[in-house]
Amino acid sequence: MRNIYPKKYYPTKQKVYGHLYDAYELIYDVYDSQGKKLFSSDHRDRNSNMTHGSTESDLKELGKTAKTNYFAPVKATTGPFRLVATTISKREPTDLRIQLDPTEVNHAPVTAEYKGNRFTFTSFGPNKEPEKEHPEEMRVEMEMELNKSGLPLIWYALDEEGRLYRLHEDSATTHKNRTYRIEGLHQPKKLTLYLQEITIRYPIHWETIIQ
């Protein structure tokens, strides 16, 4: 992929490996013998019964990954069980960059599209409720229409003086409306947003029986 970042900010090979080694995830459901869904590894499924997941990867062999999912106990049921893989989730780098005029975006939202996904930036300004550790920070709000994508989305901002900032997602936002904090950024005259990474979900169908 073409380097869209200033040279001094371009990530090293080690950092790229550390960020993309867990680039693929298999999403699946587990059913009992009566066809009732017991578990799902999809974090977007509110009835998944999944408590958490963990990933172990060997960076010496890029792509060698073992993932373990943990699920809450369910009432006793009989097998055999059916595991159905429904989706491959793949984290991909992008070359999307968006120019924002901080003085205009509040009344003239800026929209960009990437692989059928639409991002509309609707608000920009000082964060009125900053964290204690970062009393000076800006806040940007965005509306999303996701087609094949999941979360997370990795965003960076570049000001007019060439300083790069990571956008930190506010935990209070919803799935379609996101709010990001930009720590250490004062009121910029110009701002360029870079979507470094996006998660694309590709539908599949594969199943097997678990005795």
Looking at the structure, tell me whether residues 135 and 63 fall in a common domain: no
Structure tokens at 38: 């017991």
* Same domain, yes or no: 68 and 136: no
Each residue of 5-52: pLDDT tens digit?
444 444 433 343 344 445 778 889 999 888 888 888 887 776 777 666
Same domain, 99 and 66: no
Same domain flag for 196 and 102: yes
Cα–Cα dist 71/48, whole Å: 8
**How many domains does one find in the chain?**
2
Q: Are residues 18 and 71 in the same domain?
A: yes
Please provide the DSSP assignment of 1-24 as one string.
----S-GGGPPPHHHHHHHHTT-E
Answer yes or no: is 4 within a domain. no
One-character DSSP codes across 88-131: EEEEEEEEEEEEE-TTTTTTS-EEEEETTEEEEEEEEEE-SS--
Q: How many helices (H) and strands (E) does the chain have?
A: 1, 12
- Domain assignment present for residue 2? The answer is no
Asked if 195 contacts 92 with a C-beta cutoff of 8 angstroms, the reply is no
Q: Both 86 and 162 in a single domain? A: no
Identify the CA nearest to 121 among candidates 137, 95, 145, 140: 140
Contact 50, 39 (CB under 8 A): yes
pLDDT at 91 over 90: no
Domain extent at residue 182: 92-200
pLDDT in tens, 47-69: 777 666 655 555 455 556 667 77
Statement to judge: residues 172 and 115 lie in one domain: yes
Look at residue 205 and tell me whether its pLDDT is greater than 90.
yes
Give tens-digit pLDDT for 134-172.
Answer: 666 888 999 988 776 666 688 999 999 988 998 988 765
